[in-house]
Structures are given as C-alpha cells and as structure tokens.
Amino acid sequence: MFRLNTVISLCVLCRVSLCINLKFPPLFQFGAATSSYQIEGGWDADGKGENVWDRLVHSKPELFSGNATGDVAANSFHKWREDVKIAAELGLQFYRFSISWARILPTGFPNKINKAGAKYYSDLIDALLDEGIAPFITLYHWDLPVKIQDLGGWTNPLIVNWFGDYARVVYSLYADRIKTWLTINEAIIICDYGYNSGVFAPNVKEQIFAPNLCNKHALLAHAKAYRIYDTEFRPKFNGRISLANNLIWIEPRTPKDEELAKLGREYMAGRFAHAIFSKNGGWPPSIEKVMLKNSLAQGFTHSRLPAFTEEEKEFIKGTADFLAMNYYTTYTIRPGKKGEITEFLFLKSLPDLDAVLEPPPNSYYGVSRVMPIYPQGIRRQMVWLKKHYGDIDIVITENGYSSSGQLDDYNRIDYYEKHLEQVHLAMEVDKINITGYAVWSLIDNFEWLDGYSTKFGIYDVDFKDPDRRRTPRASAHFYACLIKTRALNNTCLNKDLLADSLSAMRRNSRNNAETFGSGVYFVLILSLVKFILFY
C-alpha cells in the first residue's frame, strides 16, 4: 500500500508522461515536413519559372518582415544532401516535402518540362530512399506558376485540368518510388488568405466570390489528381493519396455559443472533409444554409457559395485514402456585434458566419501571436472527425511551435510533449486510427509574412551565414530520442541527458557541415547508461 500511494503521489506531482511510459505502436511513423518555396531558394535557378510568391516578395517587399524573400531561403536547392543527412540522423521514417510546380513546369503547362528541376527532386528522392526514409510528396504547397495566376489562378475552372496535367507529369516522373502523396496543402489558407484578405500570394483582395470559387476548384482539382493516380498509376505502384487540411479546432466562447461552434467546425474542417469523407458529399448542409441566408440578406439572388452538381459531388467523394491533418491552434467563437466583423484576416473573425474568433482563455503562445497553443484541441478535433466520418486513417502531417530562434528550445519540447500526449490519448482512449505524425519543421524556413523572424525548425538555420549552416536544437535531440525509443518518457525529457547528447550533436555539426558524425547515438546510449546508474 505504501508503494502504491507513493507512485500515485509522484504521478500527481509530475507530468503523466514522466510517470507512465507512453509507447507508440510499432507501425506508427514519425516524420518531419517542409515546403519548396520555404526552404529551397534557387528561385530562378536551372530553368525554374516564376511563381506567385516570387512575384509578391519582389513587387511588395514591404509586406514581409525585414523585406525578406525566399530567393535563397535555407538554400536546400543546393544543400539537399545535408538535409537528407539531418533526416537520417534523426531517424525519420518519412520526410514530407513539396514539389515546386514552376520548377518542373516553368510555364505551368506540360508542353515544357524542366529536366534540371525534375532531376533535383529525383536525386533527393533517391538519397532519402538510400537512407531508409520514405519520401512523402506534396504536389502543391502554395507556389502557383505566375502564368497560371495570370489566367485567374484558382478562380478559373480550367485549373482543374491544368492541375491534373501537372499531377500526371509528376506521377510519371516519381510514382515508381513514392508511396504516399498529398495533392494540395491547406487549400482553405490558399483561398481565404490568398484570394480573400489577399495577405498571402497571389495577393487578390476579393471577399465576395473569389475565395469560394477557389475552394470549389481546389476540391475538384484534388479529385482530378486523385482520379488520374487511381486509374493510371495505382494499379502498378499502389500508393496512397490525400490532401492536407488545416484544421483549427473551434470551442464555444460560452455554453450558449455551442450551436455556433458546431457551425464553425463545419466551416473550418467540413468544407473539405465533408466533400470527400461524407456519404452525401458536397458542402456541409449547415454551411450551404447559412451562406444562402446571408447572401440573400446582402442583396444577391443566389448563394455566394457555388453549388456542386451531383456529378461533381460523386467525382470528389471518396478521393482520399487517409485524412491528412495539419494542427496548430484552437479558437473560441461567439456572435459578432455590429461593426465588429472584419475580413478573414489571421483568424479575427468569420464574416460568412457573422462570428468573432478569440483565443481560448487558458491558451498560451510561442512567438506567433496568431496561433494560440491549446494541446487539447488536437485530440478534440480528431474525436470530431471520427464522429462525423467514421474510423478513417489519420496522419498528422504538420504540428509545430514558433520560437525566436534559441537553440535550447525547451518550450518547443514541451509543446511536442503535450501534443503527443493528446495524440496518444486519442489512440488509446478514443480508439482513433492515427498512423503518423510529422513535426513542422525539419529546418528553419521562410515563414511567409514573418520572413525569418519566426522559427519553426528543430534545426536552426543561420540565415546570416551565406552557407546557411544548420545546427541542431534541443528539440532535435528530443525528437531523435522519441523516434528511437518510440515512447514519451523521462529518458527523452530529462534535461541532463538531453544536454549531454545535444552537445555532441552540435560539436559534430560544427566539425563537419555535411554530417553530424556517427557518434551521436553512442553518446545517447552512454547518457542512458549514466542515467540508469546514477539517477
């Protein structure tokens, strides 16, 4: 009885994960994610065409912190071998990266394929496979070729076929080596930020029709790419394909706001998930209803939300082999007051719902002031997904913490620990089929409007150094330990152990910019022995 009471007391005093070994199943995969424009650089190298972010950073530098551009970024176009070594040193099971549409097809169209750009990704894929790391490709992560944007971009219905043509080219180049694909990353962000508020590329400010057209065409373009793979490539290569959804969990501000919160969840998650994973397809009925009501009240004769035909619903339905989920934040929702509703800008309000979004009262922040941290939200979002769409396979394709760049980033480790605890609870208690998790990001990158002032990498990149030297943060050791032990426990969270191993990682990084050295795992094992003997 004394021993039992002691254990209970210790578990009350310390975090659950320090008292209970939270093991992840053998088939659960750990990875890391990046995107082409954010890390590659080489913006006009070897025949690459211009994309919408190239155009925006050069034409309106004042929009970006420090007038930053992605012209060089982390220079992964030239330092990809080092990135592969970093991924291998961590023990990643998969590495998610995106293809630059304009690097493969400089004009956006398949009549001109850039062989040098195609070789760049081919070499990267082969190097990852040589290290036993599965390449996980995103076809489109926001960097639309300007030639296509000049024709209307995502508001032009022809983009459905244009995207399908691009997808077919990429499949033809790499499907023999790629088993997991994402078509589009966070289409809601593309449409609501790029074509609504216009704060992101392509910098279109048209709040009435453009974002809704964009969302519809993105769904159809995704489905087109899926159907092409399904019929032309899956029989031979048997890969899996989905699209990545940016899922922001919505809580009611007060208990009386629960009905509005339900509507907010459908708006934020259901606009894409319902069309693909529901039995009936199309937009969520609750969103169709409120959009029609508001459109008529605004003097329009039809809903501003473009309808799907029955044929289009069937075309989109079922076009995902798993649900890819990016999670960063949670917001509360309440009805807006007169004059309070603003444009959809960094989650201040949802004008389509006459609603205001506010951070949860008990949330906290990293450097980014638009992403309040609320770890419980990741589990609640997945419970909601299972309730609405059944026992689907979920892969968490992004989850990350923003910092100002310190190497001893224990706050980031705490962030990952708390979110992974929630993931583990969702798997063990809620019986949700979660099969993978990727940190955002492998390395620091161009963080859109924040430029290089906000850091998400578990590896630091020195953007003042022409060589863009990579240095492992404390979180890199934590993640390597997590992958190796496949568990959240005191081993990976102990600061003394972490400091010992991390100093070796950094020493090896300084000695050779192309590798961390083979000694890091030996140091980790030695540190574990020290812990067992002396703690």
Report the C-alpha gap between 282 and 270 in whole angstroms: 10
Q: By the 8 A CB rule, do 137 and 99 touch?
A: yes
Cα–chain center distance at 147: 26
Report the C-alpha gap between 132 and 464 in whole angstroms: 32
Of 50, 266, 398, 447, which residue is the catalytic one?
A: 398
Report the C-alpha gap between 453 and 405 in whole angstroms: 8
- 358 tagged catalytic: no
Q: How far apart are the first and last CA of the chain?
A: 24
Cα dist. 515→51, 73, 90, 199, 290 in Å? 32, 20, 12, 38, 55
Q: By the 8 A CB rule, do 434 and 394 touch?
A: yes
Nearest by Cα to 76 from 105, 99, 52, 106: 99
Of 40, 50, 89, 186, which residue is the catalytic one?
A: 186
- 131 tagged catalytic: no
Which three-class secondary structure state does DSSP give residue 70? coil
Residues forming beta bridges with residue 325, ordered by sequence position: 245, 396
Report the C-alpha gap between 386 and 222 in whole angstroms: 22
Q: What are the phi and psi torsion angles at 437 (to 5°)?
A: -150, 130
Q: Torsion angle, CA of 498/505/81/33, rounded to 10 degrees?
A: 10
List the structure tokens of 235.
Answer: 């029989």
Q: 């997991």: which residue's tokens?
A: 180
Residue 183 CB contacts under 8 Å (≥ 6 apart), including other chains? 138, 139, 140, 163, 167, 221, 222, 225, 226, 241, 242, 243
Catalytic residue annotation: 186, 398
